[in-house]
Amino acid sequence: MLDVNVLVSGMLWGREPGRVLDAVRSGEIRLCLSELLLDQLTLVLTRPKFSPRLAAQGATAEVLVRSMRPWVEVAIPAPIAPPPGLRDFDDLAVLASAVAARADVIVTGDSHLLTLGAFQHIPIIDVREVLQRLGAANK
């Protein structure tokens, strides 16, 4: 499960989040998202601050999201109770989607989620850690 912030960074700037998306495209990582998260991704990408980056790529938010659909397994989350310590209730969509997808990990750059450490036995890790895990798996 990749959080929207990881997807946006990977799609617009590449770098380490882009390497994670490359691993998705190559089949090393299975990517599960809910329709709600895909809608959130589209909405975030339409923010004016991202317009120059999208224009430089000659794309729109809708085109970018549509282009990644072939690699996405859609999960249908059920409502969940917020865990103790959850600061941003918008993060419930990420947690619920991860549970529904039976995700191995949640990858995020969100410090509030990272502080939780895990949710329902699903580790919450950052991009560098998932890349380290991929490196170990490829050795």
Digit-coded pLDDT (tens) for 92-123: 999 999 999 999 999 999 998 999 999 999 99
Which of 76-80, 83-87, 125-129 bottoms out in mean pLDDT, i.e. has the lowest? 83-87
The reported pLDDT for the residue numbered 137 is: 55
Residue 38 CB-half CA count within 13 A = 21
Give the domain range for residue 127: 4-137
Cβ-Cβ contacts under 8 Å for 109 (sequence gap 6 or more): 3, 5, 6, 9, 17, 126, 127
| Domain total in the chain | 1
Q: What H or E segment, with its residue span, contains residue 124?
A: strand 122-125
Q: Which of 95, 86, 82 is nearest to 1 (CA)?
A: 95
* Cβ atoms < 10 Å from Cβ of 84: 6
Query: Does the predicted TM-score (pTM) go above 0.85?
Result: yes
